[in-house]
Amino acid sequence: MEGTELVAFNIIASVGTARSAYINAIDSAADGDFEAAEQSIKEGQEAFTMGHDAHAQLLTKTAQGEKVEMDLLLTHAEDQLMSAEAFGILAERFVKLYKSLNK
């Protein structure tokens, strides 16, 4: 179980960083700093990819026939992963919207 816990914590940490970067991107775009917004989107995507890759480790284990026990920690990690993905999509759209409003 320690392996699954470690993966869950890696997911939570990575996607939490991603979500924060996406929020920073929206804030930067609202302030008209589109260069910083784009940089934050990029940082968010990189952090999200790390969390997604950690999640893929669990999927690979399952595909190989290993039992991956769902518990509250892993459920939380999955929830945070999905939340960060939604924030990323919205951040990209907000940055695009702020750019068009700034023209």
Is 76 an active-site residue?
Answer: yes
- The one-letter amino acid at 2: E
- pLDDT (tens digit, 9 = 90+) per residue, 33-64? 999 999 999 999 999 999 999 999 999 999 99
Q: pLDDT category, 103, cuts 50, 70, 90?
A: confident
Burial 67-85 (b: 16+ CB within 10 A, else e): ebeeeebbeebbebbeebb
Catalytic residue (choose from 76, 82, 86, 89): 76
- pLDDT (tens digit, 9 = 90+) per residue, 73-88? 999 999 999 999 999 9
Beta strands in the chain (DSSP E): none
Look up the pTM and report it: 0.92
